[in-house]
C-alpha cells in the first residue's frame, strides 16, 4: 500500500487549480531558506538494502539524507548507487516521507545518470543491474533507427517511473569529434544530423508529447556541446578544461541542441569546459552569461531549467582525494562570488552542491535580488507540479519488482545489443561460423557461455577458431577518479599488442572490439579473420551474431583512425577529420 498523500488544505495542493496558480500560491508561502534549498541538486546515495544514508554512516559517498531534506530544505537529488527494484522504490518512499514532514511538504525530485548499459565509469553512469541492459547510445546510433531509440527511451521511462526516478541526467548529445575524449560512448557519435534525429526520438520516449505525470524529464547535456576538448582531455580535471574550435565548427555542435529544444527538452546542463579563442568569455559554460542567457535563452528560446554540471562551486572529496571545484576561469573567486556569477549567467540550479546558505547570504547582502531567485524557483516548482509529484509522490515497491527488468524489457535490450554490432572485417567469409560445433579457444569471453556454441579448448593450436574480446586502449591515470575516465592514447602498446598478434597468426580469430572510443587498431584489422565492433553487449550477443543466431546491423557512429599521428593532427571540433581513416564513419558489412 502506498503512503497517504499529505493534504492540509493549502491551495497549492489542489490539483483542480492551474499549475501557474499552484506555483504562485506556493512561492508566496516560501521563506528565503526554502527557496535557496530548491536551487541545489546534489548526489544522494542509498544503502544496498534501500535504507537512506545518514550522517556518520559509512558509505561509498558520504551523505546525511535527513539533514539535506529537513535542515537544508533541499528537494532535488541525484541517486547514486544500485539496489533491487523493491529496495530502490522503498528508498524513494522513505525520502518522500522525510520531505512530507517539512513545513510546506515540497516533494523530492530524484534524478539519475544513465543506468541501462555496460559502463564501468561510476563518475558518469552506472551499469544496468536490475534494469534492462542495452548498448551505449553509440550502439543505438550505430543502428540508425529512431524507432529503436524511442523504444529504448520508453522502456527506460517505465523502469525509472516504477522506482521513482523523475529526471534523466541525459541524453548526452555532444558530438564525438575528438577521438580521444573519454565521454563519447554516451553520445550518438560524431554526426550532427544523425544526433539531431535521434535526440528527438529519445526525448519523446522519456517525456511524451508534453511533460506530465507519466513523464521522466530529460536534462540534455552538455550545452553548447562538450566534444571539442583540447587533446581530448576531460574538463572534470584542470588539465582538460580548455574547449577549442580550430575548425570553426561551433555552430555544428549546436545543431543537436536546437533539435532537443524543438522536441521539448525540459532541462539543460552546460558543461564544465572553458571556451578558448572564441568571442565567448573565457570562463566555464556554467558561469558564462553569453552562453546561458545570450545563446541558450535569448537566441535559441529555451525556457526550461538550467542546471550546472556537478561541482562548480566547492572542492569535493572523491575516493578519499580532494578534487578542486570545476570553476574554470573563475578559480580566483570565492564560493559566494562563483555562485553569484552562475546566477547572473542564468543558471537555475547547482548540480552536485549543497550550500544553500551561500545563496541566502547573497540575497541578504543585496548582491542577488530575491526576485532573481524567484525566477528559478518558479521553474523548479512548475516541473514538480507538472510531473504530478505533489499529487502522488510515492511509488509501489511491488509494482517496481514486476516492471523493472521484465522479460519483455530485457528481450528488447538484448535485441538492440545484437542489432548494434558492427562487422568491419570478414575475411574468407569467416562469419557467420558454419561449423556446427567448432573447437573454440576464447579469451575475454566467458568459457561457459562459449560452450553453448562449440567445444572450448585451452590451447589455440587445438582450435578451429579463436574468439578474442578486446576493449579500446587507454592510458591509466593515477588519480582514482580520473582513472574511470578512459583517456589518452587509442592504440595498444607493443607489449599489449604482442600476444594479440601472436594469437591472430596462430589460428583464425574473430576479434570483438568494445568501442568506448575510436580505437586505433590497424595491425589487428590486417591480421584477424573477422573484426566486429560492439558498444556494450553481452558475450551471448556477440556469439549469437557470430553463429548466425542474430543479425548485426550496425554502422560506425564515428571513424576509426589509422594512427595516433593522424589523431593528433586532427581538429577536435571537426567530425571525421583524421587523415586516411582505417574505417570511415558509417563503415559496416552485412553478413
E strands present in 68-216: 76-80, 109-112, 165-168
Q: Cα–Cα distance between 582 and 192 in angstroms, integer?
A: 22
Residue with the three cell numbers 578512459: 486
Active-site residue, 309 included: yes
Residues 560 and 582: beta-carbon distance below 8 Å: yes
Residues 230 and 243: beta-carbon distance below 8 Å: yes
For residue 410, what is its C-alpha cell?
A: 530485457
**What share of residues in the chain are helix, strand, coil (percent, to 5)?**
40, 15, 45
Q: Cα–Cα distance between 134 and 117 in angstroms, integer?
A: 5
Q: Cα–Cα distance between 300 and 408 in angstroms, integer?
A: 39
The β-bridge partners of 467 are: 442, 510
* Cβ-proximal residues to 69 (8 Å cutoff; 6+ apart), any chain: 75, 95, 98, 99, 102, 108
Query: Helix and strand tally (H, E) in the chain?
Result: 19, 18
Q: Cα–Cα distance between 322 and 314 in angstroms, integer?
A: 10
Q: Which of 64, 154, 191, 309 is catalytic?
A: 309
Tell me whether residue 384 is exposed, middle or buried, using C-beta atoms within 10 angstroms of its C-beta: 0 to 12, 13 to 18, 19 or more. buried
Q: Cα–Cα distance between 244 and 95 in angstroms, integer?
A: 42
3-state secondary structure of 267: strand
Q: Cα–Cα distance between 488 and 560 in angstroms, integer?
A: 15
Residues 137 and 205: beta-carbon distance below 8 Å: no
Phi/psi of residue 560, nearest 5 degrees: -105, 115
Phi/psi of residue 193, nearest 5 degrees: -65, -45
Q: Cα–Cα distance between 183 and 31 in angstroms, integer?
A: 40
Chain center to CA of 344: 27
Q: Cα–Cα distance between 176 and 153 in angstroms, integer?
A: 21
- Classify strands 316-318 and 455-456 as parallel, antiparallel or unpaired: unpaired
Phi/psi of residue 74, nearest 5 degrees: -85, 150
Residues 351 and 311: beta-carbon distance below 8 Å: yes
For residue 273, what is its C-alpha cell?
A: 569546459
For residue 322, what is its C-alpha cell?
A: 580532494
Peptide bond into 224 cis (omega under 30): yes
Q: Cα–Cα distance between 167 and 173 in angstroms, integer?
A: 16
Q: What angle do CA 250, 252, 257 make, to 5 degrees?
A: 100
Please identify every residue annotated as catalytic.
309
Amino acid at each position: 500500500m502506498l503512503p497517504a498523500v499529505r493534504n492540509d488544505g493549502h491551495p497549492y495542493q489542489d490539483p483542480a487549480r492551474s499549475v501557474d496558480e499552484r506555483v504562485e500560491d506556493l512561492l508566496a508561502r516560501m521563506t528565503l531558506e526554502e527557496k535557496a534549498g530548491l536551487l541545489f541538486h546534489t548526489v544522494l546515495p542509498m544503502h544496498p538494502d534501500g535504507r537512506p544514508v545518514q550522517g556518520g554512516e559509512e558509505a561509498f559517498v558520504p551523505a546525511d539524507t535527513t539533514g539535506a531534506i529537513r535542515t537544508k530544505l533541499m528537494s532535488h537529488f541525484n541517486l547514486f548507487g544500485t539496489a533491487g527494484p523493491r529496495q530502490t522504490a522503498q528508498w524513494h518512499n522513505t525520502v518522500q516521507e522525510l520531505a512530507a514532514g517539512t513545513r510546506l511538504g515540497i516533494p523530492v525530485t530524484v534524478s539519475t545518470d544513465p543506468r541501462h548499459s555496460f559502463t564501468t565509469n561510476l563518475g558518469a553512469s552506472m551499469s544496468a543491474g536490475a534494469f534492462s541492459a542495452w548498448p551505449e547510445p553509440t550502439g543505438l546510433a550505430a543502428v540508425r533507427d529512431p524507432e529503436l531509440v524511442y523504444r529504448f527511451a520508453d522502456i527506460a521511462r517505465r523502469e525509472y517511473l516504477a522506482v521513482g526516478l523523475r529526471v534523466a541526467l541525459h541524453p548526452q548529445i555532444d558530438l564525438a569529434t575528438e577521438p580521444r575524449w573519454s565521454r563519447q560512448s554516451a553520445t550518438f557519435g560524431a554526426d550532427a544530423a544523425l544526433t539531431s534525429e535521434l535526440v528527438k526520438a529519445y526525448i519523446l520516449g522519456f517525456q511524451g508529447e508534453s511533460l506530465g505525470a507519466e513523464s521522466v524529464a530529460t536534462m540534455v547535456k552538455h550545452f553548447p556541446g562538450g566534444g571539442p576538448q583540447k587533446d581530448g582531455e576531460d574538463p572534470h580535471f584542470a588539465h582538460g578544461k580548455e574547449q577549442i574550435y580550430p575548425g570553426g565548427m561551433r555552430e555544428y555542435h549546436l545543431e543537436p541542441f536546437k533539435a532537443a529544444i524543438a522536441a521539448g527538452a525540459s532541462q539543460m546542463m552546460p558543461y564544465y569546459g572553458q571556451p578558448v579563442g572564441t568571442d565567448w568569455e573565457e570562463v566555464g559554460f556554467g558561469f558564462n552569461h553569453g552562453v546561458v542567457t545570450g545563446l541558450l535563452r535569448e537566441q535559441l528560446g529555451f525556457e526550461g531549467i538550467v542546471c550546472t554540471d556537478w561541482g562548480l562551486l566547492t572542492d569535493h572529496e572523491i575516493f578519499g582525494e580532494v578534487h578542486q571545484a570545476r570553476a574554470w576561469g573563475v578559480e580566483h573567486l570565492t564560493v559566494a562570488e562563483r555562485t553569484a556569477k552562475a546566477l547572473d549567467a542564468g543558471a537555475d540550479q547547482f548540480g552536485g552542491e549543497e550550500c544553500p546558505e551561500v545563496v541566502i547570504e547573497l540575497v541578504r547582502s543585496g548582491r542577488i535580488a530575491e526576485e532573481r531567485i524567484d525566477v528559478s524557483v518558479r521553474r523548479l516548482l512548475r516541473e514538480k507540479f507538472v510531473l504530478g509529484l505533489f499529487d502522488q509522490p510515492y511509488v509501489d515497491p511491488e509494482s517496481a519488482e514486476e516492471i523493472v527488468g521484465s522479460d519483455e524489457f530485457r528481450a528488447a535490450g538484448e535485441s538492440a545489443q545484437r542489432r548494434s554490432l558492427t562487422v568491419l572485417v570478414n575475411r574468407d567469409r569467416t562469419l557467420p561460423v558454419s561449423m556446427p560445433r567448432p573447437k573454440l579457444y576464447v579469451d575475454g569471453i566467458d568459457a561457459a557461455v562459449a560452450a553453448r556454441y562449440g567445444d572450448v579448448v585451452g590451447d589455440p593450436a587445438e582450435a578451429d577458431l579463436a574468439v578474442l574480446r578486446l576493449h579500446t586502449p587507454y592510458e591509466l591515470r593515477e588519480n582514482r577518479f580520473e582513472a574511470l575516465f578512459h583517456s589518452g592514447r587509442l592504440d595498444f602498446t607493443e607489449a599489449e599488442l604482442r600476444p594479440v598478434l601472436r594469437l591472430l597468426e596462430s589460428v583464425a580469430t574473430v576479434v570483438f572490439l568494445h568501442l568506448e572510443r575510436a580505437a586505433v587498431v590497424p595491425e589487428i584489422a590486417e591480421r584477424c579473420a573477422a573484426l566486429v565492433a560492439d558498444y556494450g553487449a553481452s558475450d551471448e550477443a556477440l556469439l549469437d551474431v557470430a553463429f548466425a543466431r542474430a543479425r548485426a546491423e550496425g554502422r560506425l557512429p564515428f571513424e576509426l583512425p589509422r594512427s595516433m599521428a593522424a589523431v593528433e593532427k586532427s581538429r577536435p571540433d571537426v567530425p571525421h577529420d583524421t587523415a586516411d581513416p582505417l574505417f570511415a564513419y558509417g563503415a559496416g558489412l552485412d553478413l
